[in-house]
Chain A
Amino acid sequence: MNCLKYRRAILIDPNDSTPALAEHAGTCASCAAFKHDQLKFEQQLNETIDVKIPAGLNSRILLAQSTGKVQTQKRHRKLYAVAASFILAIGIMVGVQLNPINEPVGQLVLSHVNNETKHLHDRLNVKQTRVQEIFSELNMKVSASLGTVNFAGNCDIRNKQKGAHIVLQGKNGPVTVLIMPAEKVTTRHAIADNRFHGVIIPAQRGSFAIVGNHNEALEPYVTQLGRIITM
């Protein structure tokens, strides 16, 4: 191999480690230096190409999948702000309040968790017998321990329909489980906002939701709860 061929090969792929290239570099100091320079250049290139990954990207992709619509970002924020002000102004003018009856279940779950963030800080270490009572009030059963339960209680999910609100100790923070006997869904939904991501799982009676921080893996909870809860 001559120097020209060697340098061409290095410019095509600086990490090419075929024996013929290594052999040439071993006998030609100038080409070895050329490769050294090129690897330094590649390191800089790698640093240059790297870009900030926006927080919650994966959650928004999953949300787009479940809604079938792309979740637009700040390009449209001004437009949204104007539209929101306009809608609010009309609402105030005609004295209309937003009616929660038609609120989609995903929004309902995220609003519920955001409105009850105080429970995310509870450390009540609720006993299994109490968890079973909460489920039995809904005519449901839980057949095994949910792990460390920091909070558990019955709550209104919507329009006085009872459900259960449970906060588990996750690996990266609290994980909220909402049991929603009156909320029927036909397929699994991914949900997300700026703070949380979650999943809504259809059950025989209604559905249940699992919500955690963006860095919390929820799939283990889906598997565990699907196995031990009878709804």
Chain B
Amino acid sequence: MQSQQLQFEALVSSYSTDLYRYAVWLTHSSDIAEELVQETYLRAWKAISSLKDSRSAKAWLITILRRENARRFQKKRAEDAVIDNVNPDELYEVSLDDMAIESMSMRQTLEKLPDEYKEPLLLQVLGGYSCEEIASIMEISASSVMTRLFRARQKMRKLIETSENSHALGSNRGMK
């Protein structure tokens, strides 16, 4: 029991921030994200004896979190629950220097990506997972993951280029 408790506390201190970041992007709400992370750890605690290999702990937690999120989504739909209107800008540190403005446009672009593209991208960038690991977490083939990652980045680049071109056109209009 004591060793399981220590194992659990190590899982919390090692992975809670990564899970939280991932959850914020999944739920678009810092409050719901935290509840989701807590739910994930509650489930993980109940099933901790099934975690045999500590190297797979992070992927195991991410899988639990995704399932909890799917469950939450189903419940929300069933109950037609009302969730706060969240201003996404409240979730992030925003300072209005050039870098932050670039980040904002990058964030809006990321938000525009369909979930099927956004999720593997987040798992790769946030979680540092390989295509095979993402495939296992998302229960799809590795080649599908590669296609989705390729399309995700391609779409983001296009969206950003389009946005930059329209800004440039807009600013040129005012020039003599």
A residues near B (Cβ < 8 Å) are: 8, 11-14, 38, 41-42, 44-54, 57-58, 60-62, 64-65, 68, 70-75, 187-188, 219
Contact = CB atoms under 8 A, between A and B. Distances in A.
Given A61-B12, A65-B8, A52 B149 contact: no
Closest 3 A-B residue pairs measured CB to CB? A48-B106, A75-B31, A11-B153
B172 interface: no
B20 A57 contact: yes
Given A61-B41, A62-B12, A8 B6 contact: no
B45 to A, nearest CB: 5
Contacts, number: 108
B1 interface: yes
Interface in B77-121: 84, 91-93, 99, 102-103, 106-107, 110
B34 to A, nearest CB: 6
A53 B17 contact: yes
28 contacts: A11-B149, A12-B131, A12-B149, A13-B149, A14-B153, A44-B103, A45-B125, A47-B106, A48-B103, A49-B122, A49-B125, A52-B91, A52-B92, A57-B17, A57-B34, A58-B13, A60-B38, A61-B38, A62-B9, A65-B8, A65-B41, A71-B38, A72-B31, A72-B35, A73-B31, A73-B34, A74-B31, A188-B2
Given A45-B106, A61-B12, A64-B41, A38 B153 contact: yes
B150 to A, nearest CB: 5
Contacts of A74: 31
Nearest to B34: A73
A219 B160 CA distance: 48
A45 B160 CA distance: 12
Chain A interface, >50% SS class: helix
Given A48-B110, A70-B42, A53 B20 contact: yes
A54 B91 contact: no
B41 A44 contact: no
Contacts of A11: 149-150, 153-154
A21 to B, nearest CB: 14
A92 B124 CA distance: 56
B58 interface: no
A57 B92 CA distance: 16
B139 to A, nearest CB: 19
A64 B91 CA distance: 23
A46 B107 CA distance: 10
A60 B42 CA distance: 11
Given A75-B31, A75-B32, A58 B12 contact: yes
Contacts of A71: 38
Contacts of B149: 11-13
A188 B35 contact: no
Contact of A188 (B5, B25, B131): B5
B103 A47 contact: yes
Nearest to A52: B93
Nearest to B33: A51
Contacts of A51: 20-21, 24-25, 30, 91-92
A37 B93 CA distance: 25
A54 B34 CA distance: 9
Contacts of B38: 60-61, 64, 70-71
A61 B78 CA distance: 27
B103 A65 contact: no
Nearest to B35: A70
B37 interface: yes
B126 interface: yes
A70 B110 contact: no
Contact of A187 (B1, B24, B110): B1
